Amino acid sequence: MFNDDLVFKALGDPSRRFLLDLLFQRDGQTLGELEAELAMTRFGVMKHLRVLEDAGLVVTRRSGREKLHFLNPVPIRLIHDRWIDKYRERQVSALTDLKTSLESKKCQSSKKKA
Amino acid sequence: MFNDDLVFKALGDPSRRFLLDLLFQRDGQTLGELEAELAMTRFGVMKHLRVLEDAGLVVTRRSGREKLHFLNPVPIRLIHDRWIDKYRERQVSALTDLKTSLESKKCQSSKKKA
DNA sequence: TTGACATGTGACAAAATAGTCACATATAGT
DNA sequence: ACTATATGTGACTATTTTGTCACATGTCAA
């Protein structure tokens, strides 16, 4: 259904991850809108969107002369399932929640170990 | 705590994902053991392991003249959390479970919508 | 100490990737 | 029809990444 290699390659570039962030924030943006957020010509952005679309991370719909882009989270969920054992999920979750919790309380305690 | 870019870059290569698969299967393997599973000299494997270690996806422990490698699933969980909205998680999960379910029952029903 | 084994380093060539540009197509509005 | 706008294509260069090799370090065991 989804090609592993395309998905991971797509996620390997910071500009593409930023594009996903933008779409996560607001779905259905056009190339023009997305282009404005990147420090790059529209050609570069177009190429990146193409890679994301080929990977299935972004789906598109044409509307007149515009092309609307939507985030598709399914392949990302599948990545997760590959290396997170169902039985160990609870423990890993606890760890990441701890991390989140620590980060939101940065100012309360001055000492913490990495 | 974990550097996004290093993690995603690390996951972008198929050989490195295969190494993670090997460690997911059996933790604590040495370079020598891992090398035997890849179609590549030990130098290539070493480089890949270094990338994984820098990303925090693999942690190591020396034991005499050997170096043992262990999978660390935490960064992968964090990837997941980045684009899977907590409120939408249930729906996405349902979709991936459906996918799994369909794949294991390929022969039962002939008609299914995407 | 000697030799065998396991891992490590820096330089290198080949391959893949990112980003730009000239040029092209398609649509909306007047 | 004409013009401005939005997206698309292929060629090109610069950079990054992959994988290899000669050489080096550290460890075990006799």
Domain region containing B51: 4-59
**How many domains is chain A partitioned into structurally?**
1
Q: Residue A107: its pLDDT value, please?
A: 36
Within-domain flag for B52: yes
Domain-located, residue A97: no
CA of B57 to C1' of D26 (A): 26
Per the domain annotation, does A27 fall within a domain?
A: yes
Average pLDDT, chain A: 83
pLDDT of residue B91: 63
Supply the pLDDT for residue B106.
Answer: 42
Residue B97 lies in a domain: no
Mean pLDDT of A86-105: 57
A3 touches strand C (CB under 7 A): no
Higher pLDDT, A19 or A73: A19
A81: nearest CB among B11, B85, B96: B96
Q: Is residue A38 part of a domain?
A: yes
Specify the pLDDT at position B95.
59
Report pLDDT digits (tens) over A11-59: 999 999 999 999 999 999 999 999 999 999 999 999 999 999 999 999 9
For B54-72, b where at least 16 C-beta lie within 10 A, e where not — what string? ebbbbebeeeeeebebebb
What's the CATH number where B24 sits?
A: 1.10.10.10
Q: What is the DSSP string of A50-65?
A: HHHHHHTSEEEEEETT
Q: Which of B1, B21, B80 sits opposite A77 (nearest CB)?
A: B80
Bridge partners for B29 per DSSP: B69
What is the ipTM, given to two decimal places? 0.82
Residue B31 falls within a domain, yes or no? yes
A89 pLDDT tier (thresholds 50, 70, 90) = low
Asked if residue B46 belongs to a domain, the reply is yes
Would you say B23 and B43 are in contact if contact means Cβ atoms under 8 Å apart? no
Does residue B33 lie within any of the structural domains?
yes
Beta-carbon count within 10 A of B98 CB: 12
Q: How far is the CA of B9 from the C1' of D16 (A)?
A: 12
Q: Which nucleotides of D are covered by protein (CB under 7 A)?
A: 5-10, 17-22, 26-28
Instruction: For residue A84, name the pLDDT band (cuts at 50, 70, 90).
Output: confident
Do A82 and B23 contact (CB within 8 A), yes or no? no
CB contact under 8 A, B17 and A9: no
Q: Do A92 and B73 touch (CB under 8 A)?
A: yes
Rounded CA Rg of chain A: 18
Count other Cβ atoms within 10 Å, centred on residue A58.
22
Q: Which of residues 81-110 of B touch strand C (CB under 7 A)?
A: none
